[in-house]
Chains A and B, each alone.
Chain A
């Protein structure tokens, strides 16, 4: 059988089968052979696609596991919304995982209890937006990201003092 330089094996096989059929007129054997060849080629293509999908899925799973290993909470300094180096490292892992999917994310910004509640609401929004902006710059479209600030209303640690406060100054990716 001639091998035609046409992109896509299935198309090539079908083209070949049609060509052969046309040449030999009503040669039934050849038709059957061509059909069998087409089926075999289709099966091979499907297997190849599945293998590729499985490989992509495995890679995506690896990226998601890597992101998950970093956790989904990024911490901040007092009265600051600058991303810390460890937050950027974790975010890069999350961004890599998100680039392989069409998932949407919700970023929840939080503060510690110091300062007024409404000012902290604004600070929490700045933190969530700092994470959002970093993700957008690195290729995640903004329509996939929702950010919301809870200010100081949802502490992880209820007590006062830096040991508690540092746990509360955060953005959670959900």
Chain B
């Protein structure tokens, strides 16, 4: 395969910031019945002038978005302690806050350090303390890392706030060609960066397992082709150029292989590409549609969608034995699976009563649970901690992103004021 370095492609993929109208916002539509009350006190800024970023607000919003916490309104706080000696527990008991988070933000040249302590108000004791450091212009990411630590301390599950999202948006041009954008943003939708803008379709974004590269399909040559792009350098490479479909790229957990769909030999089949040699291996060989490959976390098998039984269902291919088994049996349309890191929960698009929902299948118990109640839900992507599922849906005839917890208890939407947003891809844990 000829490698095409397209570092100077006639497309905008420089780190261009989106204008604020295109940024996603968050509307929590359903939380838990008894969320944990926590007061996240504004962190004390210990530098000159005003703080460049309200880091505590980032923590507050993250915890609220999880649906498992009810952060105390700042207007209700009777004090603003930033060190232990300033804490009066009765002030926090009075407003029924179960936990209290205080902290300090210290500038260190181009760097920034956030120190914080978490207290149990009832027991009047510190339950956790920590510090996060990083570039000052990444202050929001420091807030997300504090939120990750607090979330883990209080729920026992690692947080996934210090992660990022890829998504595709399209601006409609009736009677003409829509604008397509591939955007990278923080897990809360903040700091969006356009990686690619095109008048031809862009789809199927995904991550390398180290979070340093992204893959996607672009029609910029007039035909579909798979591209990979390094986020740090912007270097971009077209890795396929076959006749027919070139789609659904999915990096293996070890990063050495990419599963993809090609129809060069007739009908759509799953292939594996060695990412070093670019050599192809054919996985499925069937006249039916075989598509949407995704890896089990151990890298030993693939899940994929096939209509070989008449309707689209999820199948599992064992790479060592070469055997294929059907995974889904409930309902007439199950497609585009994504597997949680536990290797047990599988989210997918599931049709019920003519509507497309997001469902979760427990591979151990074979229990399938429908998580959403809207009707054109697709492209589920599971958080690296397995807690939430991001997906695309329609709201007021617009494509938007939404999220639901894996137990269905928490729901929120991420509407954009512009365009149709779809195909979210939640990053793996980054730089840990």
Interface residue ranges, A against B (CB under 8 Å) = 113-119, 121-123, 125-126, 148-151, 153-154, 158-160
In the complex, the answer to whether B244 meets A115 with C-beta atoms within 8 Å is no
Q: List, in ascending order, chain B residues with CB within 8 A of A160's CB.
A: 376, 394, 397
Q: List, in ascending order, chain B residues with CB within 8 A of A149's CB.
A: 224, 245
Check A154/B201 contact, CB under 8 A, given A114-B356, A115-B335, A118-B336: yes
> Interface majority SS on A: helix, strand, loop or mixed?
mixed
For the complex of A and B, the 6 pairs showing the least CB-CB separation, nearest first, are A153-B201, A122-B289, A116-B336, A122-B268, A116-B335, A118-B248
Q: List, in ascending order, chain A residues with CB within 8 A of B178's CB.
A: 154
Residue of B174, B219, B289, B394 contacting most chain A CB atoms (<10 Å) = B289
Interface residue? B247 (CB, 8 A): yes
- Give the shortest distance, in Å, between A141 (CB) and chain B (any CB): 16
A29→B245 CA distance, assembly (Å): 74
A126→B248 CA distance, assembly (Å): 17
Contact of A119 (CB < 8 Å), options: B201, B222, B224, B292:
B292
Interface residue? B196 (CB, 8 A): no
By size class, the interface of chain B is 35 or more
A153→B203 CA distance, assembly (Å): 9
Whose C-beta in chain A lies nearest to the C-beta of B289? A122
In the complex, the answer to whether B376 meets A119 with C-beta atoms within 8 Å is no
A50→B263 CA distance, assembly (Å): 47
Q: List, in ascending order, chain A residues with CB within 8 A of B291's CB.
A: 118-119, 121-122
Contact of B376 (CB < 8 Å), options: A114, A126, A148, A150:
A114
- Give the shortest distance, in Å, between A59 (CB) and chain B (any CB): 33
Given contacts A115-B335, A118-B204, 4 further A-B contacts (CB under 8 A): A116-B379, A119-B312, A148-B222, A158-B174
In the complex, the answer to whether B305 meets A119 with C-beta atoms within 8 Å is yes
- Give the shortest distance, in Å, between A126 (CB) and chain B (any CB): 8
A101→B277 CA distance, assembly (Å): 44
A159→B172 CA distance, assembly (Å): 11
Check A116/B245 contact, CB under 8 A, given A125-B268, A159-B397: no
Whose C-beta in chain A lies nearest to the C-beta of B394? A160
Q: List, in ascending order, chain A residues with CB within 8 A of B245's CB.
A: 121-122, 125, 149
Interface residue? B113 (CB, 8 A): no
In the complex, the answer to whether B423 meets A117 with C-beta atoms within 8 Å is yes
A160→B397 CA distance, assembly (Å): 7
A153→B399 CA distance, assembly (Å): 12
Q: List, in ascending order, chain A residues with CB within 8 A of B263's CB.
A: 122, 125
In the complex, the answer to whether B244 meets A125 with C-beta atoms within 8 Å is yes
> Can you give 15 A-B contacts (C-beta < 8 A)?
A115-B335, A117-B336, A118-B204, A118-B292, A118-B305, A118-B336, A119-B307, A121-B261, A150-B219, A153-B219, A154-B178, A158-B174, A158-B397, A160-B376, A160-B394
Check A150/B335 contact, CB under 8 A, given A116-B349, A158-B172: no
- Give the shortest distance, in Å, between A60 (CB) and chain B (any CB): 28
A99→B172 CA distance, assembly (Å): 38
Q: List, in ascending order, chain A residues with CB within 8 A of B222's CB.
A: 148
Interface bits B307-344 vs A (CB < 8 Å: 1, else 0): 10000100000000000000000000101100000000
- Give the shortest distance, in Å, between A56 (CB) and chain B (any CB): 33
In the complex, the answer to whether B261 meets A122 with C-beta atoms within 8 Å is yes
| Segment 166-207 of B: residues with Cβ below 8 Å from A | 172, 174, 178, 201, 203-204
Q: List, in ascending order, chain A residues with CB within 8 A of B307's CB.
A: 119
Q: List, in ascending order, chain B residues with CB within 8 A of A126's CB.
A: 289
In the complex, the answer to whether A148 meets B378 with C-beta atoms within 8 Å is no
Interface bits B334-364 vs A (CB < 8 Å: 1, else 0): 0110000000000001000000100000000
Check A121/B397 contact, CB under 8 A, given A114-B356, A116-B379: no
A158→B419 CA distance, assembly (Å): 12
Interface residue? B278 (CB, 8 A): no
Q: List, in ascending order, chain A residues with CB within 8 A of B305's CB.
A: 116, 118-119
Interface residue? B212 (CB, 8 A): no
A114→B336 CA distance, assembly (Å): 13
A148→B217 CA distance, assembly (Å): 14
- Give the shortest distance, in Å, between B160 (CB) and chain A (any CB): 24
Q: List, in ascending order, chain B residues with CB within 8 A of A119's CB.
A: 289, 291-292, 305, 307, 312, 335-336
Whose C-beta in chain A lies nearest to the C-beta of B304? A118
A115→B307 CA distance, assembly (Å): 13
Check A115/B292 contact, CB under 8 A, given A148-B222, A150-B219, A160-B376: no
A115→B333 CA distance, assembly (Å): 8
Q: List, in ascending order, chain B residues with CB within 8 A of A122's CB.
A: 245, 261, 263, 268, 289, 291
Contact of A117 (CB < 8 Å), options: B289, B378, B394:
B378
In the complex, the answer to whether A117 meets B376 with C-beta atoms within 8 Å is no
Whose C-beta in chain B lies nearest to the C-beta of A124? B245
Whose C-beta in chain A lies nearest to the C-beta of B375? A160
Whose C-beta in chain B lies nearest to the C-beta of A149? B245
Interface residue? B223 (CB, 8 A): yes
Q: List, in ascending order, chain A residues with CB within 8 A of B336's CB.
A: 116-119
In the complex, the answer to whether A117 meets B268 with C-beta atoms within 8 Å is no
Whose C-beta in chain B lies nearest to the C-beta of A117? B203
Q: List, in ascending order, chain B residues with CB within 8 A of A153's CB.
A: 201, 203, 219
A125→B266 CA distance, assembly (Å): 10
In the complex, the answer to whether A116 meets B378 with C-beta atoms within 8 Å is yes
- Give the shortest distance, in Å, between A114 (CB) and chain B (any CB): 7
